Amino acid sequence: MEVLEDSPGEKTGKEATSGILGGLTQTRTNIAILIGTVVIVSLIKQNCMAVQEDDMGFKLCVTSRRGVKDLSNQNLLDVPSNLPNDTQYLDISHNSIQRLNGAQFSGLSQLCCLKVTHCGLQEISPSVFSHTPALKVLNISYNDLRIIPDISLKQLKILDLANNLYNSYRVPPSFQKLTSLDVLSLGSTAALSIHYNDFDPLMNISLYHLLLGAGIQWQNYDPGALAKVKSLQKISLFACFCGNFSMLEKVLVDLNVTGATSLRFITVFPDICNLTGNPFKKLRTMPFIQNLTIENTWINSSFMEVLLKNVWISSLHDLAFVNITYHEDKPDGFQFRTINHTVNVHSITFNGVHHYQYSYPTINISTEAVYNLTYLKFSGSGMNILPCKLISALPSLETLDLSDNLLKDLGFWWFPCSNTSVFPKLRKLYLSKNRFSSLSFISEKTHQMKTLESLDLSFNSIELDKTCSWPAHLTELSLGNNNLGNSVFKFLSSNFERIDLSKTGITAITQENLSQFPKLTHLKLSSNSIQVIPADLMAPALLSLYVDQNAITSISSEVLPGLPRLQTLKAGSNPFVCSCDSYWFITVLNKSMLPDWPFDYTCNTPPLFAGLPLSEYKTSQLSCETWLQVVVAFSVIIVICIALGLSFYKCDGAWYIKMLWVWIRVKRRGKKHSNMLKNASFSYHAFISYSHQDCGWVDSQLVPSLEGSGFSLCVHARDFIPGDWIIDNIINCVESSYKTLFVLSKHFVQSEWCNYELFFAQHRAISIQQDSLVFILLEPIPADSLPKRFFRLRSLLRQQTYLEWPKDERKQQVFWSSLKSMLHMADKSMVLKDVATAISDAVPLLLDHE
């Protein structure tokens, strides 16, 4: 490694990092490695490209964590054969895989991003890509491929073939089928020339970005080679042109033909390069180039003067220097005098500036050259004091980025500076990654910036020392990555519309906090310890809410009504509970609101579902919605009742229940009157009262069935005593029987004798027991058809249960069982007929005893 010197052996190699503008306090820092060698720059480029491709690969391809397979650094000798068919992102980098075969990728039809770097890969079978038609990102850089492989994937968008061993940049004809290709990276230390026909297959491809080179100096470039890629918008040249500036001019001429708008030079000059002539003169005649970036390059004051003279006369709008090493090679430093030309440059970026001299850099630039500058970034320069001249020399500046420096409160607002006119048009000020501390001091000083709208104070050491006084025109504040706590809301302005409080130690967000900001439209609370979003949260103007990487387990549907204008909700990387608490969030919430869905949403509990993507958690609405459970349960009950009712009706259930009720009442009443009947005895189980016109049924059905079962019946045609009055026979038979059975029919109600029998039996029931009357309905009798003299029968039928004679034989069995169970109660009290005459005396005695 070489150390830059003014003359060999004169400097020790110690390096001091300081600001690049005059008046900056110089900070000396020893640096172990000098940026500029091809090896180090290659590593930097590799890391940057890897990060960009990984991000793009995830964005384009990954919809679920299940689809990501990272098998890098596993000491693999071959691609595993058991990869899931739903693999979307596969990284097998840093292994020892020399060949890719088609069989290894069989079944991976969903593979979208394939990364195979640092594997010593030497050969790729064309059949590999026949199994992966969905491939969009392919990174096979940093391998040992000796030819550019044939690839014809129609969906491929990003292809990285850099840092292999092919000796020619000639792309195969199959590349003309890469109709979706946006980014192509080519680079080999063995390819020393670019020939005219190398990029012919790309002529009809709408390529957006071409990265070309491996950090070495080319030996030959055929004019017109790059001019064939006519749709090119951006080109990055990773090549050295020191000592061969004519080749650089040829490249610039061809890029002008392509109409590319963005040009990026990486290590365009090595650490030691004698600048002769004007290698960037062609920039003046390139009307399409809008952006120029010089990256990882040694720049001395002479080079800077030549470059800026061409830039200021060109059509360039944006100029950026990234990770550069600045060295003053002239005693008077950098001198840029007034030029008589309209300056188009509106944006200048210095991102990573290393200065290797102990003396302050001398920069003398005309204010006219930067008068129209609207964007200026000085990042990673070691700046600790803002020069006063910078304040007065940039009247049109709208955005100032001084992040990643060493600025403190008094270093930015330096007391020797006049504060009468501080950045008269400044709208955005970025001061992140510095050493600012007092929020109250900063709030007071921002009143001097009359047009300031946005202030970034993230990654500092901010303290909430005392009450803050913010200007009304400041509407956006970022305080992320400062340890502030829940009280930070009290130190903010009610005029703020955008607030970033990511990683500030907040544990809770309340309605009281948000009520202070009626104009709030964007709120970032990422990486805190918030456990719940309150249901009563009210922020009518809020459009965007970031609560990712907190401790939130679920988000209730009751949150959204208080946020009627919410368009973006970022809530990933939280410990979600996969239960009914998350049902609404998973199934109902509009996922277009979630920029990080579904990749950053996984189940944390219960353990059974830990790690499961939230999008794959399945639960039913019925199991989670109480109202729906009630509706379904009620509907099921109704259906069951209807089904039972229909079955009940079809199977004559009403009749069976009526018979069951008769049986239950008989049993209950039998027990109730068992004491009354203990000492009573009867001659008959039952006296049968019926019309002579119903004798056919009585003689053929009733009498044979009951007497066949051992019951003693009193039938008037058989058991009335001849010679006695009919009324006396009726009274005697009624009183000698345990029950009186009435066979009711239309004929019964027309019989006067039947009416007498009913009358005497009813009076006997009143005096002895309520249930001595049993009615058998032989046929339906309409209530309005009963004669007036049967008024008692009408009331009895309404009050007492009766048995109905069924036509169905199955039901008749139930009928007989019910009837017989009524008569069995008299079995123990039955005596011979000759003692039945004492019944009239025994019953009153029993009643008096009771």
Under the banding of pLDDT at 50, 70 and 90, the label for residue 436 is very high
Structural tokens at position 19: 């600001």
Distance CA 14, CA 29 (A): 8
Asked whether residue 29 is domain-assigned, the answer is: no
Domains held by the chain: number:
3
Mean pLDDT of the chain: 81
Let me know whether 611 and 695 are in one domain: no
Distance of CA 693 to the CA centre of its chain: 86
Asked whether residue 780 is domain-assigned, the answer is: yes
Q: Is the pLDDT of residue 70 over 90?
A: yes
- Of 42-56, 124-138, 178-192, 785-799, the range with the lowest mean pLDDT is 42-56
Let me know whether 697 and 613 are in one domain: no
Let me know whether 699 and 819 are in one domain: yes
> Per DSSP, which regions of 276-379 are E strands?
291-295, 298-300, 318-327, 334-336, 347-355, 363-365, 375-379
336 against 776, higher pLDDT: 776
Distance of CA 237 to the CA centre of its chain: 41
**Rounded average pLDDT over 755-781:** 70
Distance CA 218, CA 250 (A): 13
Let me know whether 570 and 707 are in one domain: no
What is the enclosing helix (H) or strand (E) of 687? strand 684-689
Under the banding of pLDDT at 50, 70 and 90, the label for residue 32 is very low
Q: Is the pLDDT of residue 297 over 70?
A: yes
Q: Is the pLDDT of residue 449 over 60?
A: yes
396 against 272, higher pLDDT: 396
Domain boundary among 583, 599, 619: 619
Distance of CA 215 to the CA centre of its chain: 44
Domain boundary among 619, 643, 660: 619
- CA distance readout (Å), 541 to 429, 589, 792: 25, 20, 82
Query: Do 94 and 118 contact (CB within 8 A), yes or no?
Result: yes
Q: Is the pLDDT of residue 37 over 80?
A: no
Under the banding of pLDDT at 50, 70 and 90, the label for residue 771 is low
pLDDT confidence of residue 140: 95
φ and ψ at residue 635, rounded to 5 degrees: -65, -40
pLDDT confidence of residue 27: 30
Under the banding of pLDDT at 50, 70 and 90, the label for residue 527 is very high
pLDDT confidence of residue 443: 95
Query: What is the greatest pairwise CA distance in the chain?
Result: 165
Asked whether residue 691 is domain-assigned, the answer is: yes
Let me know whether 801 and 692 are in one domain: yes
pLDDT confidence of residue 665: 60
pLDDT confidence of residue 801: 62
pLDDT confidence of residue 686: 86
- Label residue 726 left, alpha or beta by phi (over 0 means left) and psi (-120 to 50 means alpha): alpha
Let me know whether 690 and 818 are in one domain: yes
pLDDT more than 70, % of the chain: 80
Q: Is the pLDDT of residue 320 over 60?
A: yes
Let me know whether 584 and 713 are in one domain: no
pLDDT confidence of residue 75: 93
Distance CA 34, CA 267 (A): 13
- Of 19-23, 457-461, 559-563, the range with the lowest mean pLDDT is 19-23
Let me know whether 688 and 822 are in one domain: yes
CATH code, domain carrying 515? 3.80.10.10
- CA distance readout (Å), 306 to 246, 271, 275, 643, 724: 16, 17, 9, 96, 154
461 against 850, higher pLDDT: 461
Asked whether residue 402 is domain-assigned, the answer is: no
Domain that holds residue 605: 506-619
pLDDT confidence of residue 794: 63
Query: Can you state the percent helix, strand and coil of the chain, rounding each to 5?
Result: 35, 15, 50
- Of 69-83, 422-436, 782-796, the range with the lowest mean pLDDT is 782-796
192 against 810, higher pLDDT: 192
Does this model's pTM top 0.85? My answer is no
Asked whether residue 575 is domain-assigned, the answer is: yes
273-286 tens-digit pLDDT? 777 778 888 888 88
Let me know whether 602 and 732 are in one domain: no
Query: Do 825 and 677 contact (CB within 8 A), yes or no?
Result: yes
Let me know whether 694 and 799 are in one domain: yes
What is the enclosing helix (H) or strand (E) of 68? strand 68-70
Q: Is the pLDDT of residue 511 over 70?
A: yes
Please return the burial class of 79, using the count of CB atoms within 10 Å of its CB with bins 0-12, 13-18 and 19+.
Answer: buried
Under the banding of pLDDT at 50, 70 and 90, the label for residue 756 is low
pLDDT confidence of residue 797: 63
The 8-class DSSP code of residue 682 comes to: B
**Rounded average pLDDT over 201-224:** 93
pLDDT confidence of residue 588: 86
CATH code, domain carrying 821? 3.40.50.10140
**Rounded average pLDDT over 257-270:** 89
| Neighbouring residues of 341: CB distance < 8 A, sequence distance ≥ 6 | 312, 313
353 against 333, higher pLDDT: 353
Q: Is the pLDDT of residue 624 over 80?
A: no
734-748 tens-digit pLDDT? 778 888 888 888 877
Which range has highest mean pLDDT (70-74, 323-327, 659-663)? 70-74
Asked whether residue 92 is domain-assigned, the answer is: yes
Q: Is the pLDDT of residue 631 over 70?
A: yes
Cα of first residue to Cα of last residue in the chain, in angstroms, is 128
State the Cα angle at 483 between 477 and 485, rounded to 5°.
Answer: 85
Helix (H, G, I), strand (E, B) or coil at 467: coil
Let me know whether 513 and 615 are in one domain: yes
pLDDT confidence of residue 90: 94
Domain boundary among 105, 135, 165: 135
pLDDT confidence of residue 39: 37
Asked whether residue 105 is domain-assigned, the answer is: yes
- Of 392-401, 402-411, 783-792, the range with the lowest mean pLDDT is 783-792
Under the banding of pLDDT at 50, 70 and 90, the label for residue 338 is low
Asked whether residue 182 is domain-assigned, the answer is: no
656-685 tens-digit pLDDT? 676 566 556 655 655 555 555 455 567 888
Let me know whether 609 and 730 are in one domain: no
Query: Do 155 and 135 contact (CB within 8 A), yes or no?
Result: yes
Distance CA 742, CA 687 (A): 8
